[in-house]
């Protein structure tokens, strides 16, 4: 088993991270369009998207079957399937892989829920170390406003209601997001995350990302698409 | 309450009054038969029993079974799916029953999972850390059989035939299910032997008759429960619950005579 930081692939892996509502998915979509237009082979991999695990996760969320430990392990299962299926093969083939949320999401959420910091990192130690990981940092109130105003109601696990901090979904969500942000901040130095100020304009953030990614791209890897 | 590694998050760590008893062994060695026999015997002696085993969790059992049918389960994904299943059963079945004073009998525990991972080339420190949330059991009985050939004989006499995963077909070890089975199970036996000392297995020679293995198990279980008296009488008929389907507390009335060999 090859551990974090030890994989050697010709491809490049870029990931976006951040609290809900930080605008990272928007930035990822723009990056994807740009790389495609430039002629690079690009693959996109999203958090919680393994077809093998999907039904189990959906059922567990609906029926509130998770504990912090099983929430963590099932998400790790999902991530392992993505790693084995969607991430490692294209990287070996020299492609660019974009991941919307990566292991840092698990580290932030699971630790916020009460899992041991070292244990969660050990579980995910098989993950490929990204070429660059962007952390979209938005002030807590901005992120919360974006989510709460955009949705009719917060979901049970999304709001962290399982942790029992508060019975009020909005209050629980605020506490949860605060803890998550704390974990992200701690990970900036630990994993060398690239912080993007998510309170600036979409265009400016995108320009900054493209500038940072540029030096990692190998123009010879471009493929002509008809 | 003692864990192998990092304790379960959010769990109170006061001691429990029940007993956690593990039956381990490779495929086809008679674990299910002996778990079922022990359960009935314990119940007849007045113990409340929970029996559990791999892929029986409410959370992940179905998902694992579906994923296995497709043969598309990657090595790491499989280990983590099983770990999810295990922790769900530990938190929601085993631990509450142990607190309520039950004897929890588990058909396989983390050792089978660790052996399967190691045989598949997965880092042994990683798999042990992942399963660090497992409780250290009160006893681990390892039903040991000498060779993979003996397992084949059992497999054939049970009429079950060769299974894709039990034959380790995902590892491409041989031309066909038979060759692969022999190689895979030989490797598994080696890992189990290595773990015997590491985890303090109580090894029982499982190539003997069901009756004599069952008698030894009863004696050993009585010691775990701090009980004395005649453990396993000869000529006793026992009520054997149906495997898996019996439900958590409903003994069935499937009589078998222990003097007859169930397996040759």
pLDDT at A226: 45
Report the alpha-carbon distance of residue B163 to residue B165 in Å, rounded. 6
Contacts of A125 in chain B (CB under 8 A): 126
Within 8 A of B88 by CB-CB distance, chain A residues are 65, 67, 70
A85 interfaces chain B, CB cutoff of 8 Å: yes
Q: Provide the 3-class DSSP secondary structure of residue A53.
A: coil
Secondary structure (3-state) at A143:
helix
Start-to-end CA span in chain B (Å): 40
CATH of the domain spanning A12-214, picked from 3.90.120.10, 3.30.230.10, 3.40.50.300, 1.10.10.60: 3.40.50.300
Mean pLDDT over the full length of chain A:
93
For chain B, list the domains and their CATH numbers.
19-147+200-257 (3.40.50.300)
Say if residues B62 and A56 touch (Cβ distance below 8 Å). Answer: yes
CB contact under 8 A, A85 and B74: yes
Percent pLDDT > 90 in chain A is 81
Give me the residue spans of the domains in chain A.
12-214
Best CA proximity match to A202, nearest among A23, A1, A6: A23
Is A114's CB within 8 Å of B67's CB?
Answer: no
Distance CA(A120)–CA(A186), nearest Å, equals 15
* Chain B residues within an 8 Å CB radius of A70: 59-60, 84, 87-88, 91
B21-50 pLDDT, tens digit each: 999 999 889 999 999 999 999 999 999 999
pLDDT of residue B71: 65
* B9/A74 touch (CB, cutoff 8 Å), yes or no: no
Instruction: State pLDDT tens for residues A31-89.
Output: 999 999 999 999 999 999 899 999 999 999 999 999 999 999 999 999 999 999 999 99
| Whether the Cβ atoms of residue B152 and residue B263 lie closer than 8 Å to each other | no
Distance between start and end Cα atoms, chain A: 39
A87 and chain B: CB distance < 8 Å anywhere?
A: no
Nearest chain B Cα distance for residue A69, angstroms: 7
Give the position of tokens 């490049």.
A12
Q: Is the dihedral of CA B258, B138, B224, B150 positive or negative?
A: positive
**A134 by DSSP, 3-state: which?**
strand
How many other CB atoms sit within 10 Å of the CB of residue A87? 25
Read off the DSSP letter of residue A163. G
Mutate to test the interface with B, among A52, A54, A121, A165 (most CBs of B within 10 A): A52
The beta-carbon neighbor of A84 closest among B76, B81, B92 is: B76
Per-residue model confidence as pLDDT tens digits over A123-173: 999 999 999 999 999 988 887 888 777 777 889 999 999 999 999 999 999
- The residues in A 126-165 lying below 8 A from B, measured between CB atoms, are 126
The pLDDT tens digits of the residues spanning B197-235 come to 999 999 999 999 999 999 999 999 999 998 876 654 444
Q: Do A69 and B9 touch (CB under 8 A)?
A: yes
Q: Is B15 on the interface with A (CB under 8 A)?
A: no
> Are A67 and B81 within 8 A, CB to CB?
no
Q: What is the pLDDT of residue B47?
A: 97
Q: Per-residue pLDDT tens for B160-210?
A: 888 888 999 989 898 899 999 999 999 999 999 999 999 999 999 999 999
ipTM of the predicted assembly exceeds 0.85:
yes
CB contact under 8 Å between B74 and A50, yes or no, is no
Half-sphere exposure of B137 (CA within 13 A, CB side): 26
pLDDT of residue A224: 64
User: In this complex, is the C-beta atom of A106 within 8 Å of any C-beta atom belonging to chain B?
Assistant: no
Quote the pLDDT of residue B231: 52
């Amino acid at each position: 088993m090859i551990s974090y930081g030890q994989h050697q692939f010709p491809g490049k892996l870029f990931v976006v991270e951040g609290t809900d509502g930080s605008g990272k998915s928007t930035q990822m979509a723009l990056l994807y369009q740009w790389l495609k237009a430039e002629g690079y082979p690009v693959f996109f991999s999203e958090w919680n998207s393994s077809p093998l695990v999907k039904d189990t996760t959906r059922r567990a969320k609906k029926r509130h079957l998770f504990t912090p430990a099983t929430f963590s392990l099932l998400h790790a299962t999902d991530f392992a399937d993505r790693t084995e299926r969607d991430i490692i093969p294209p990287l070996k083939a020299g492609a660019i892989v974009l991941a919307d949320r990566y292991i840092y999401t698990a580290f932030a959420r699971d630790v916020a829920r009460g899992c041991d910091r070292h244990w969660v990192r050990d579980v995910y130690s098989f993950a490929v170390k990204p070429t660059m990981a962007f952390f979209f940092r938005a002030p807590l109130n901005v992120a919360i406003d974006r989510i709460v105003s955009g949705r009719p109601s917060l979901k049970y696990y999304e709001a962290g209601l399982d942790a029992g901090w508060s019975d009020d979904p909005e209050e629980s969500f605020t506490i949860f997001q605060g803890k998550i942000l704390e974990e992200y901040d701690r990970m900036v130095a630990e994993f060398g995350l690239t912080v993007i100020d998510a309170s600036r304009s979409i265009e400016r953030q995108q320009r900054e990302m493209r500038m940072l990614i540029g030096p990692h791209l190998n123009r010879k890897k471009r493929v002509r698409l008809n | 309450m003692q864990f192998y590694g990092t304790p379960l998050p959010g769990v109170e760590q006061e001691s429990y009054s029940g007993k956690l008893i593990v039956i381990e062994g490779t495929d086809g060695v008679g674990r299910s038969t002996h778990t079922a026999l022990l359960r009935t015997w314990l119940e007849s002696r007045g113990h409340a029993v929970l029996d559990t085993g791999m892929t029986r969790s409410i959370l992940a059992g179905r998902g694992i079974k579906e994923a296995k049918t497709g043969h598309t389960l990657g090595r790491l994904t499989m280990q983590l799916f099983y770990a999810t299943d295990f922790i769900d059963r530990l938190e929601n079945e085993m631990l509450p029953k142990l607190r309520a004073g039950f004897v929890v009998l588990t058909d396989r525990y983390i050792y089978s999972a660790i052996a399967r991972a190691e045989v598949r080339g997965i880092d042994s420190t990683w798999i042990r850390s992942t399963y660090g949330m497992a409780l250290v059991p009160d006893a681990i009985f390892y039903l040991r059989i000498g060779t993979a050939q003996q397992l084949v004989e059992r497999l054939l006499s049970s009429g079950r035939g060769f299974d894709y995963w039990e034959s380790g077909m995902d590892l491409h070890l041989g031309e066909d299910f038979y060759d692969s089975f022999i190689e895979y199970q030989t490797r598994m036996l080696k890992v189990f032997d290595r773990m015997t000392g590491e985890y303090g297995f109580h090894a029982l020679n499982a190539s003997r008759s069901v009756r004599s293995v069952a008698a030894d198990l009863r004696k050993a279980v009585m010691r775990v429960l701090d009980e004395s008296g005649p453990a396993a009488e000869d000529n006793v008929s026992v009520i054997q619950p149906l495997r898996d389907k019996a439900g958590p507390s409903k003994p069935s009335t499937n009589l078998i005579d222990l003097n007859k060999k169930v397996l040759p």
